[in-house]
């Protein structure tokens, strides 16, 4: 076992890669169910890494362990080499169900992370206004969440995560509760944000197409118990028209390759 | 409601019943029921007497004190039960028993404990009102979306901020519903308490009127009480409607 791990290490972290989030030997059980077993992963700085796998593979659990929201039974998470066990200002979370406060306006929701950090009202609202317009919601500052569409609500959630200026953004299936048209637009926006904001993204999804479309790196997890089965780095040029990616041969091949690998868990 | 194709306003049915009361009263069938017009006249006369004004003041004071205590203790207790498993296991059974038990039976015990004075009335109001406030608050806290709490934690909320900025607000619709029901039960508590103690406030007045067969004044006092209970419920309902705007939109 030990030798296997040792042999695996050099291939997953080439010396030149700058690691920001490190996951070492993470295991988690829920009662008798083994959700994660011995996960070792490195997330390179400034990249978008997807955690992809069928339901029950523990990808959301792993993300919440990295966020410090769930405690692991064994193993450690490091940010810039320091072990973390609780949520911290260097990480920001985007929730699957948006997790907006229904009694607060979009502006206050976006500013909430800064409000909790005790920043002055005018200052935090100015920052929130900036990020609301960054995600395309200028003019919606005073709307309440129920007055916004699903896609717009998630944009508020994304603006909240951006406004606290964390180095690592953790996104838990952020587009799964958003309709198809909005999802496409959102994915394009995320590619643009990744290019302009100097941040590391860790992205949980169950959609192969989505993972290949937006990711620099895809970590494939296998279920019961959740383990890393494969790491793929799709070599896709995302500089031009994002629409073009959907017809890129390499994109299509990678989607197909991952599907062949995951197929066994479905049947 | 429509009648023969005409729209009849809500309060119209009340008028019909008042008219029926008037007719039955005029027929002089039962001495218990004087004509409605006499009762109305008695209301006007009653509110001018110092004994009614004094009784109202005593009653209101006991009601407000009891309700304040029930809210100040009930809401935190409900939050505690909603958040802490052990507290819920320990207290849940008792809260459920008390919220459905015939509490009037306990008022004599209160009289032994607190004497024949205002303290017993305050205790009765408290005892009648608190349980539904606890139960509704607990239900509200239980229904808070877990991701909202994870959100607050992930953005670094302290325990205090988590309660003040998330939990209380998220459970507010249920807390207000509990307080509204608690207020109505509190009115019951104040009346039953005073009736049983029967030497202070409205209890003393009811006692005097019914002993001396002053039925018009007796009914006048009853109508005033009913109107008061309805008014309170209506006011709280207005406040609830104001927070409804987001309650309906919760995930």
Query: What per-residue confidence (pLDDT) applies to B199?
Result: 79
Q: How confident is the model at residue B245 (pLDDT cuts 50, 70, 90)?
A: low
Query: What per-residue confidence (pLDDT) applies to A266?
Result: 67
Question: Parallel, antiparallel, or unpaired: how do β-strands A200-205 and A48-52 relate?
Answer: parallel
Closest-CA residue in chain A for B161? A116
**CB-based contact B156 A88, cutoff 8 Å:** yes
**CB-based contact B246 A64, cutoff 8 Å:** no
Measured distance between the N- and C-terminal CA atoms of chain A, rounded to whole angstroms: 29
- pLDDT tens column, A213-225: 888 898 988 888 8
A23 and A39 in contact (C-beta within 8 Å)? yes
Inter-chain contacts counted by CB atoms under 8 A, chains A and B: 68
- Residue A121 lies inside a defined structural domain of this protein: no
pLDDT tops 70 at residue B248: no
Asked if A88 has any chain B CB less than 8 Å from its own CB, the reply is: yes
**CB-based contact B170 A101, cutoff 8 Å:** yes
Q: Strand A74-79's sheet: what is its strand order?
A: A33-44, A19-30, A74-79, A82-84
Count of structural domains, chain A = 1
Residue B184 backbone zone (phi > 0: left; psi -120 to 50: alpha; other: beta):
alpha
CATH superfamily of B35-247: MetI-like (1.10.3720.10)
ipTM: 0.84
Asked if A68 has any chain B CB less than 8 Å from its own CB, the reply is: yes
pTM: 0.80
**What residues form DSSP beta bridges with A78?**
A22, A83
- pLDDT tens column, B99-136: 888 888 888 888 888 888 888 899 999 999 999 999 99
pLDDT, greater one: A139 or B197: A139
Print burial letters for B25-53: b (CB count within 10 Å at least 16), e (below 16). beeeeeeebbbbebbbebbeebeeeeebe
Closest-CA residue in chain A for B146? A99
Q: How many whole angstroms separate alpha carbon B112 and alpha carbon A13?
A: 78
A133 and B172 in contact (C-beta within 8 Å)? no
CATH of the domain at A219: 3.40.50.300
B150 and A93 in contact (C-beta within 8 Å)? yes
- Which residues in A lie closer than 8 A to residue B156 (C-beta atoms)? 87-89, 113, 116-117
| Cβ-based neighbour number of residue B154 at 10 Å | 27
Residue A99 backbone zone (phi > 0: left; psi -120 to 50: alpha; other: beta):
left
- Residue A241 lies inside a defined structural domain of this protein: yes
- Residue A139 lies inside a defined structural domain of this protein: no
Token pair of B237 as six digits: 């309902």
Q: Report the gap between the CA of A266 and the closest CA in chain B (Å).
A: 29
**CB-based contact A95 B151, cutoff 8 Å:** yes
Q: Report the gap between the CA of B60 and the closest CA in chain A (Å).
A: 33
**CB-based contact A87 B161, cutoff 8 Å:** no
Chain-wide mean pLDDT for chain A?
84
**CB-based contact B152 A116, cutoff 8 Å:** yes
Nearest to A97 among B145, B166, B248 (CB): B145
Q: Report the gap between the CA of B149 and the closest CA in chain A (Å).
A: 8
Query: What per-residue confidence (pLDDT) applies to B22?
Result: 86
Q: How many whole angstroms separate alpha carbon A80 and alpha carbon A22?
A: 8
**CB-based contact A93 B154, cutoff 8 Å:** yes
Structural domain that includes position A227: 2-90+170-178+201-266
Question: Parallel, antiparallel, or unpaired: how do β-strands A48-52 and A217-222 relate?
Answer: parallel
Token pair of A140 as six digits: 């919606």
- Which residues in B lie closer than 8 A to residue A146 (C-beta atoms)? 245-246, 248-249
**CB-based contact B246 A92, cutoff 8 Å:** no
For chain A, give percent helix, strand, coil, nearest 5.
40, 25, 35
- Residue A140 lies inside a defined structural domain of this protein: no
Asked if A110 has any chain B CB less than 8 Å from its own CB, the reply is: no
- Which residues in A lie closer than 8 A to residue B155 (C-beta atoms)? 87, 92-93, 112-113, 116, 160, 164
- Residue A52 lies inside a defined structural domain of this protein: yes
Q: How many whole angstroms separate alpha carbon B20 and alpha carbon B161?
A: 58
Using DSSP's 3-state secondary structure scheme, residue A17 falls into coil
- pLDDT tens column, A26-63: 998 888 888 888 889 999 988 899 998 887 788 899 99
Nearest to A99 among B147, B157, B165 (CB): B147
- Which residues in A lie closer than 8 A to residue B163 (C-beta atoms)? none
Nearest to A117 among B152, B156, B166 (CB): B156
Asked if A146 has any chain B CB less than 8 Å from its own CB, the reply is: yes
- pLDDT tens column, B22-39: 888 888 777 778 888 888
Asked if A82 has any chain B CB less than 8 Å from its own CB, the reply is: no
Distances (CA, A) of B84 to A210, B142, B152: 40, 10, 18
- Residue A19 lies inside a defined structural domain of this protein: yes
Q: Report the gap between the CA of B174 and the closest CA in chain A (Å).
A: 14
Closest-CA residue in chain A for B145? A99
- Which residues in B lie closer than 8 A to residue A111 (C-beta atoms)? none
Q: Helices B201-211 and B50-83: crossing angle, nearest 10°?
A: 130
Token pair 């205090």: residue: B160
Q: Helices B201-211 and B215-247: crossing angle, nearest 10°?
A: 140
Print burial letters for A165-200: b (CB count within 10 Å at least 16), e (below 16). ebbbbbbbbbbebbeeebbbbbbbbbbebbeeeebb
pLDDT tops 50 at residue A13: no
Query: What per-residue confidence (pLDDT) applies to B244?
Result: 65
- Residue A189 lies inside a defined structural domain of this protein: no
Residue window 210-239, chain A: list those with CB within 8 Å of chain B.
none
**CB-based contact A67 B169, cutoff 8 Å:** no
Whether the link from the prior residue into A225 is cis, omega within 30° of 0, is yes
- Residue A123 lies inside a defined structural domain of this protein: no
């Amino acid at each position: 076992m030990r030798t296997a791990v040792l042999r695996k290490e050099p291939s997953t972290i080439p010396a030149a890669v700058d690691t920001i989030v490190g996951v070492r030997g993470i295991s988690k059980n829920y009662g008798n169910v083994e959700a994660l077993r011995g996960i070792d992963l490195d997330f390179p700085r400034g990249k978008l890494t997807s955690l992809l796998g069928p339901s029950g593979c523990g990808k959301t659990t792993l993300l919440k362990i990295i966020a410090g929201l769930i405690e692991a039974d064994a193993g450690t998470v490091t940010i810039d080499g320091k072990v973390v066990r609780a949520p911290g200002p260097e990480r920001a979370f985007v929730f699957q169900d948006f997790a907006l406060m229904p009694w607060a306006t979009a502006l206050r929701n976006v500013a909430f992370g800064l409000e909790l950090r005790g920043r002055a009202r005018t200052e935090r609202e100015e920052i929130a206004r900036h990020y609301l317009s960054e995600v395309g919601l200028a003019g919606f500052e005073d709307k309440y969440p129920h007055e916004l569409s699903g896609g717009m609500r998630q944009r508020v959630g994304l603006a909240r995560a951006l406004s606290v200026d964390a180095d690592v953004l953790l996104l838990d299936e952020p587009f799964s509760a958003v309709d198809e048209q909005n999802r496409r637009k959102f994915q394009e926006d995320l590619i643009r944000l990744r290019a302009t904001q100097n941040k590391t993204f860790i992205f949980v999804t169950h959609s192969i197409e989505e993972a290949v479309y937006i990711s620099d790196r895809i970590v494939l997890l296998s279920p019961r118990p959740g383990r890393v089965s494969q790491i793929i780095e799709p070599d896709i040029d995302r500089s031009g028209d994002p629409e073009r990616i959907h017809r890129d041969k390499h994109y299509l091949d990678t989607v197909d390759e991952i599907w062949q690998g995951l197929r066994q868990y479905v049947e | 409601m429509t009648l023969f194709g005409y729209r009849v306003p809500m309060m119209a049915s009340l008028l019909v019943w008042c008219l029926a009361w008037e007719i039955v009263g005029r027929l002089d069938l039962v001495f218990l029921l004087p004509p409605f017009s006499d009762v109305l006249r008695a209301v006007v006369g009653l509110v001018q007497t110092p004994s009614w004004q004094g009784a109202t003041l005593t009653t209101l004071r006991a009601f407000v004190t009891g309700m304040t205590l029930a809210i100040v203790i009930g809401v935190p207790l409900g939050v505690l039960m909603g958040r802490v498993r052990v507290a819920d296991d320990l207290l849940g059974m008792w809260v459920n028993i008390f919220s459905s038990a015939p509490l009037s039976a306990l008022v004599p015990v209160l009289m032994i404990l607190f004497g024949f004075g205002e303290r017993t009335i305050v205790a009765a109001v408290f005892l009648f009102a608190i349980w539904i406030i606890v139960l509704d608050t607990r239900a509200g806290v239980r229904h808070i979306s877990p991701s909202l709490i994870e959100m607050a934690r992930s953005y670094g909320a302290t325990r205090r901020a988590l309660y003040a900025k998330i939990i209380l607000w998220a459970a507010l619709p249920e807390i207000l519903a509990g307080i509204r029901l608690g207020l109505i039960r509190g009115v019951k508590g104040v009346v039953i308490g005073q009736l049983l103690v029967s030497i202070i406030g409205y209890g003393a007045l009811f006692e005097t009127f019914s002993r001396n067969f002053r039925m018009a004044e007796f009914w006048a006092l009853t109508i005033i009480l009913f109107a008061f209970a309805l008014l309170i419920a209506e006011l709280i309902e207005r406040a609830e409607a104001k927070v409804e705007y987001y309650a309906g939109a919760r995930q």
